[in-house]
Amino acid sequence: MTTATPSRTRAAGATTLASALNRALRDSLREDPSVHILGEDVGTLGGVFRITDGLAAEFGADRCLDTPLAEAGILGTAVGMAMYGLRPVVEMQFDAFAYPAFEQLVSHVARMRNRTAGRMPLPITVRIPYGGGIGGVEHHSDSSEAYYAHTPGLHVVTPATVADGYGLLRAAIASDDPVVFLEPKRLYWSKEDWSAEAPAPVEPIGRAVVRRRGTSATLITYGPSLPVCLEAAEAAKAEGWDLAVVDLRSLAPFDDETVAAAVRATGRAVVVHESSGFAGVGAEIAARVSERCFHHLAAPVLRVTGFDIPYPPPMLEQHHLPGVDRILDAVGRLQWEQ
Amino acid sequence: MTVDSTAGAPTTAPAANDGPADAGPPELVQLLTPEGERVEHPDYSLETTPEELRSIYRDLVLVRRFDAEATSLQRQGELGLWASLLGQEAAQVGSGRAMRPTDYAFPTYREHGVAWCKGVDPLNLLGMFRGVNHGGWDPDEKNFHLYTIVIGSQTLHATGYAMGITKDGADDAVIAYFGDGASSQGDVSEAFTFASVYQAPVVFFCQNNQWAISEPTEKQTRVPLYQRASGFGFPGVRVDGNDVLACLAVTRWALDHARTGQGPVLIEAFTYRMGAHTTSDDPTRYRIAEELESWKLKDPIERLKAHLVREGWADSAFLESVEAESEQLARRVREGVRTMPDPDPSSIFEHVYAEGHALVDEEREGYLAYASSFASAAAELTDGEDD
Ligand SMILES: Cc1ncc(C[n+]2csc(CCOP(=O)(O)OP(=O)(O)O)c2C)c(N)n1
Ligand SMILES: [Mg+2]
C-alpha cells in the first residue's frame, strides 16, 4: 500500500522579511531561556510592524515584555538585565524614537566590556526599523546608522534580504557583543522564496556579499538601497554598463576584504545609501576604498546619498532618496573614456 | 531564570482607575454628569451663560465633525495618516477655551480640538498628515506650537517657554499636552522637576485616554497619574475628561494658579480614545468591544446636549444650525485638502540654516540641474517627434 512519494522537507515558499525576523526571534526564544524581548507594543499587539507577532502568547508576557513608553528606560533596564545574565532583545518602535536611548547606548552599552576589562559583556540586541520610503510622517524615516557605526564597541548590522534577516538576527542575538540591528522597514513586506527548514543558516556578522557580479563599476550599498542598486544595475545594461553590487550587511565590523576585491575587479565604485552624505557611512567607505584600491581606481569613488537636510515630508521624499536615475547619473560621471 | 514582568496586571488595581461612572471616585472633578445633570463641586465652580454653553456645544460638534472628515479623507487616500481625537473633544475644548489668546499651547499630534480653540485653521492641521509639510502653521501666530510626535518631549519645551515668561514678568501661562503613555518618559518627569524648581507658569494637561497604542494605562503606572504631581511638589487634579465644563473650570483655575506665580499644576483628564490609535492601527487586536460600549455612555457631546435641551437653552433650530455648520466645515475641509497644492521639490533645501550654507546650497544647485536635465531631455524628445 505504500506509495513511492519521497519524504521531503516542505518546499520553500514566499516569505516576508517581517516573518523571517519573527521566526528568528521565536527560534532564539525557544532555544535560549535567557533571551527576553522588551519594547513598546511588542506583546499583545506584536509590535507596530508585527515583528513580535504571537511571541508573548507563545512564550509568555515575562519573555516578551510590553514596557512603559520610555526608550531610555527600556535600554537602561536591558543593560541591567544583561548584567544579571539575561540576553535582552530590545525593540525601538521607529528610528527616531531610539534617540531617547542614545545615552544608554553610547555611554553604557557600547563601553561596558571595555570599562570592566572584559568582565561584563552586554549581549544586547537593539532592533531598530529604519529608513524612509514608506510615506511616514516626521521622525518615522530616519537613517541613523552613522551615529551607531561611529560608536566603538557596537556592531551595526543591517539585512537586505529575507534570508539575511533570519541569519543575521540569530547571529546578533547570539553575539556576546551589543548589536544595533537596523531593519530596513520598507523591505519588511518584500518576499523571497525562503524556508526556515533546517539547516537554518546563521550568517556570521561582519561579512559583505557580492549580490551581482559585474565588470564596469561596483555599487556598494546596504539595507533599503540594495534593491534600488540591483534595479539600477539592470537598467545600466541599456547604457552598456555591467555593474557589480556589493551588499555590506555589516557596517561595523566592516568587510574591507570583500569590498576592496569587488572594487579592484572593476576599477570604479559608487557608494549608495539613504542617510545624509556628510560624515555618513559612505564617507568612511569611500576613504577605505581609496586607501586600499587607489592604484586600481579609474575615477574617484562617488557617493549617492540622501541630501544634508532634515528628512523631508512624505510627498517630497522621492527627491531625497537615492533612486535608479541618480545612481546611473553618478555611474555616468565615473570618467569613462570617450 | 525569569525576570519579574511589568506586563502583568497590577496586583492592587488603584480604585481610581475604575472610571468616572463607577460610583464616581471622590477625586474626579465633575460638573456635568453623563446624563447631562449639572452638579456643583466644592473647589471648582463655574459661572456660565446659556449662550456660552451653546458656543461650547458648537465647538464640540464642529471639532468632532472635522475629525470624522479627516478620518474619511485618509480612507479615500487624501491623507497618509490621521490621529483621531474621537472621545476626547471635551478635554480639548474645555482646556482649549480656558486659555487666553496670549497663553501658549504645546500639543501632541492629537490636539485638533485645542488647535480649533486657539484659532488655527483646521485645514492647516492636515498638511502634515497629507505629507506636504511638517506642520502648516506659524506657531507664534496663534500661540499654538507645531504637533510634536516624539512622545513627551514637548513638555520640556513648554516648561522652558514658561520659564521665559517669568523672565519677562508677563502673566501668560503655558499648557503642555501629553498622554498617559507619555507620562512614562523621562522628559516628562524632568519637565515636572524643572517646572517645580522654577515655579514655571505651566499646566501639564495629561489626557489619560486609557491607551498608548496597544498598552493600557496599567502598563505605565500603578498610581493614578494626577497623584504623581505631589511627589514633585505641585498640585495634581483628576478631572472627568468627558465633562467639558469640569475641564474648563479646572484648567482655568490651574492657569490662574500658574500665572499668579504659584507654580505648575498637573491635570489628568480621565477620558477614552474611542477610535484607533491612528488610521494605521487595528485596536481589535488588543482591546475588547465592551470597553468601548461603556465609554459611549459617557459621551462628551451627548451630555452637554442633554443639559442644554433639558434647560430649554437649545431648540431644534439651534441644533440643526450647528449640524449644518458642521457639514459646511466638512465640505470646506474636503475641498481644501483636495486642492492643496503639492509642495515644490526645491523647498526641501530651505530653512535648514539661517544663512546660506555651502553644502546645502551645492546640493540644491546640483539637484535642480539634475532635475532640469530630465526636463530638457523630455523637451528634446518632443522636439524630435515634431520633426
Ligand atoms: C519617543 C517616542 N517613542 C515612541 C513613539 C511611538 N508612539 C507614537 S504614539 C505612541 C503612544 C502614545 O500614547 P499616549 O502618550 O497615551 O498618547 P495617545 O496616543 O494615547 O494620545 C507611541 C508609542 C513616539 N512617537 N515617540
Ligand atoms: Mg493615551
B39 C-alpha to ligand 1 centroid (Å) = 34
Strands A125-130 and A87-91: parallel
The answer on A233 and A179 residing in a single domain is: no
Closest CA to A195 of A12, A7, A5: A12
User: In A, which residues are within 8 Å of B367 by CB distance?
Assistant: 307, 319
Q: Which of 3.40.50.2300, 1.20.1250.20, 3.40.50.150, 3.40.50.970 is the CATH number of B21-338? A: 3.40.50.970
pLDDT digits (tens, 9 = 90+) for A202-225: 789 999 999 999 999 999 999 999
Chosen for mutation from B148, B220, B346, B363 (greatest number of chain A CBs closer than 10 Å) is B363
CA–CA dist B172, B366 (Å, integer): 47
Chosen for mutation from A37, A49, A69 (greatest number of chain B CBs closer than 10 Å) is A69
The answer on A82 and A38 residing in a single domain is: yes
Considering the domain boundaries, does residue A322 fall inside one? yes
Extract the C-alpha cell encoding B119: 484659532
The answer on A123 and A34 residing in a single domain is: yes
CA–CA dist B164, B178 (Å, integer): 21
pLDDT given for residue A324 in this prediction: 98
Q: State which residues form the domain around A19.
A: 15-192
pLDDT given for residue A33 in this prediction: 98
Residue owning grid cell 557589480: A244
Question: Is A298's pLDDT higher than 60?
Answer: yes
The answer on A246 and A175 residing in a single domain is: no
The answer on A284 and A239 residing in a single domain is: yes
The ipTM is 0.94
Considering the domain boundaries, does residue A6 fall inside one? no
Question: Is A230's pLDDT higher than 60?
Answer: yes
pLDDT given for residue B382 in this prediction: 62
The answer on A292 and A241 residing in a single domain is: yes
Q: Please, where are the H alpha helices in A155-312?
A: 162-174, 226-236, 256-266, 281-293
Last residue of a domain, one of A192, A218, A247: A192
CA–CA dist A282, A37 (Å, integer): 32
Considering the domain boundaries, does residue A200 fall inside one? no
pLDDT digits (tens, 9 = 90+) for A186-205: 999 999 888 877 556 778 99
The answer on A230 and A133 residing in a single domain is: no
The answer on A27 and A164 residing in a single domain is: yes
Residue in A closest to B150 by C-alpha: A97
CATH number of the domain enclosing A59: 3.40.50.970
The answer on A235 and A186 residing in a single domain is: no
Tell which one of A40, A48, A69, A127 to mutate to probe ligand 1, the residue whose CB is within 8 A of the most ligand atoms. A69
pLDDT given for residue B375 in this prediction: 80
Interface list for B 278-307 with A (CB within 8 A): 280-281, 285-286
CA–CA dist B338, B235 (Å, integer): 46
Closest CA to A295 of A263, A271, A272: A263
Q: Which residues line ligand 1 (CB under 6 A)?
A: A 40, 69, 71, 93, 97, 100; B 108, 110, 149-151, 179-182, 209, 211-213, 273, 277
* Residue A273 among the catalytic residues: no
Q: Total structural domains in chain A?
A: 2
CA distances from B60 to A273, B66, B91 (A): 47, 10, 10
The answer on A224 and A170 residing in a single domain is: no
Sequence spans of domains, chain B: 21-338, 345-386
φ and ψ at residue A102, rounded to 5 degrees:
-60, -40
Please name the residue whose Cα sits nearest to atom 6 of ligand 1: A93
Tell me the shortest Cα–Cα distance from A103 to chain B, in angstroms. 12
The answer on A24 and A167 residing in a single domain is: yes
The answer on A173 and A100 residing in a single domain is: yes
pLDDT given for residue A11 in this prediction: 46
Percent of all residues in chain A with a pLDDT value above 70, rounded to a whole number: 95
Considering the domain boundaries, does residue A198 fall inside one? no
pLDDT digits (tens, 9 = 90+) for A38-65: 999 999 999 999 999 999 999 999 999 9
Amino acid at A99: Y
CA–CA dist A212, A247 (Å, integer): 9
Average pLDDT per block of 10 residues along chain B, 387 residues long? 36 36 64 97 96 98 98 98 98 98 98 98 97 95 98 98 96 98 98 98 98 98 96 98 98 98 98 98 95 97 98 98 98 98 96 95 95 81 53
pLDDT digits (tens, 9 = 90+) for A89-142: 999 999 999 999 999 999 999 999 999 999 999 999 999 999 999 999 999 999
pLDDT given for residue A202 in this prediction: 79
pLDDT given for residue A338 in this prediction: 59
Question: Is A171's pLDDT higher than 50?
Answer: yes
What average pLDDT does the structure give for chain A?
94
CATH number of the domain enclosing A326: 3.40.50.920
CA–CA dist B29, B41 (Å, integer): 7
